Amino acid sequence: RALTTAARSSLKIGLIPADGIGKEVIPAARAAIEALGSDIPKPEFYNLDAGFECFASTGTALPEETVEALQDSHCALFGAVSSPITKVTGYSSPIVALRKKLDLYANVRPVVSVAENAQEKPRVDLVVVRENTECLYVKQETITSTESGKEARATRLITERASRRIGRLAFELALGRPRQLVTIIHKSNVLSVTDGLFRETIRAVPRFAENGRYDNIQIEEQIVDSAVYRLFREPQIYDVMVAPNLYGDIISDAAAALVGSLGLVPSINAGDNFVMGEPVHGSAPDIAGRGIANPLASIRSAALMLRHLGYLNGADRLDKAVDGVIREGQVLTPDLGGSSKTQEVLDAVLKKI
């Protein structure tokens, strides 16, 4: 499903560092992309604003100019956002809004052990495909006062259309992987209507595919709680895991623990016309500004973004450089047990590129 690589004289890349360590890791990803030289069209970067800090200073978390600039770009990199955990009047998560506005309906999160990493057994090689536009993230919440106290409600939206397109994307991804297995994650033993629709729609995808395209893909399913248990016990049973928005978010963070650090796990937010790389980690306010954030998830997100656009050589060079630095284990940030700074890890990656 790579977006078409029409001949481009330049590659317009929107950069949205947003909050916290996003401001440290996105510049590192930019430097890594710049080091690719002629493997990609000449990159043109656009620094764009969004996030809670942006809201605090301007009154909006996602300025219209940012959305317009992205609509005029080929792709983007998003850092991280720190939305407050209590309601702030007038604030709404910019990453949730961006995914909807640009119709980036799939969040693809590969979680892969770097080979030869002796600490990890067994080897993990899975990809979480998270539906990105609905579920509880439609954010329709209400609160009312009743005689017995307050009552809060949230709408959970699951549509056939969104489930079908995320299902197709999961099957397409599985086609390109050696094991060709799709596991549907749901809780339809309890939520038989919403998760039931998600499950049934994805199960039906092969039936409607042209020329039996997905006939050789094996389909399994797992109730989400048992899926998490098995993920920790026997992660090697998974290949492509496709999940509604909230379960996909949680499962991919959990899976990151299996490969050493959330600081290693990349993602892309992909639609039919646009792709935005985004490290899975958040804004990490506890370490922000200290120069010790791990830039590898962002560099890998840049690689995924380039791969999705069809720039395979550039993507391979970034991935190999990152894998080499991890394997050597000499220059690592504290989340991986090292004592190196963000800049030192970036320098080690640049040297390998």
Q: How many CB atoms lie within 10 A of CB 101?
A: 14
Chain centre distance of CA 180: 21
Burial of 196 (0-12, 13-18, 19+ CB in 10 A): middle
The answer to whether 253 is a known catalytic residue is: yes
- Of the two residues 227 and 280, which places its CB atom closer to ligand GGG in the complex? 280
Alpha carbon distance 51, 79 (integer Å):
10
For residue 151, give the amino acid letter: E
Q: Of 19 and 323, which CB lies nearer to ligand GGG in the complex structure?
A: 19
CB-based contact 229:238 (threshold 8 Å):
no
81 binds ligand GGG (CB under 6 A): yes
H-helix or E-strand containing 169? helix 160-175
Residue by residue, DSSP assigns 260-325 as T-GGG---EEE-SS-EEE--SS---TTTTTSS----HHHHHHHHHHHHHTT-HHHHHHHHHHHHHH
Instruction: Decide if residue 32 touches ligand GGG (CB under 6 A).
Output: no
> Which residues are CB-neighbours of 254 under 8 A, at least 6 positions away?
228, 231, 232
Q: Is 93 in the site for ligand GGG (CB under 6 A)?
A: yes
Q: Which is nearer to ligand GGG, 167 or 279 (CB)?
A: 279
Residue nearest to ligand GGG (CB): 93
CA distances from 34 to 40, 147, 205, 216, 235 (A): 9, 61, 40, 40, 35
Active site residue 347: no
**Does 304 engage in binding with ligand GGG (CB under 6 A)?**
no
- Using the rule CB under 6 A, is 80 a contact of ligand GGG? yes
Which member of 253, 316, 347, 352 is catalytic? 253
Candidates 35-43, 117-125, 205-213, 273-281; binding stretch for ligand GGG (CB under 6 A): 273-281
In the annotation, is 249 catalytic?
Answer: yes
The footprint of ligand GGG on this chain (CB under 6 A) covers a number of residues equal to 13
Q: Does the annotation mark 46 as catalytic?
A: no
Question: Which region, judged by CB under 6 A, interacts with ligand GGG, from 89-97, 186-194, 215-223, 331-339?
Answer: 89-97
191 to 230, contacts with ligand GGG by CB under 6 A?
Answer: none
Distance (Å) of CA 153 to CA 28, 78, 102, 249, 286: 41, 30, 27, 21, 32
Candidate ranges 92-100, 156-164, 183-191, 239-247; the one touching ligand GGG (CB under 6 A): 92-100
| Closer Cβ to ligand GGG, 74 or 281, answer by number | 281
- The span from the CA of 314 to the CA of 327, in Å, is 20
Q: Is 187 a catalytic residue?
A: yes
Question: Going by DSSP bridges, is the β-strand pair 75-80/106-112 parallel, antiparallel, or unpaired?
Answer: unpaired
Q: Which is nearer to ligand GGG, 77 or 309 (CB)?
A: 77
**Which of residues 276 and 292 has its CB atom nearest to ligand GGG in the complex?**
276
Query: Pick from 95, 104, 111, 268: which binds ligand GGG (CB under 6 A)?
Result: 95
Residues that bind ligand GGG (CB under 6 A): 80-83, 93, 95-96, 278-283
Residues annotated as catalytic (active site), given as ranges: 137, 187, 225, 249, 253
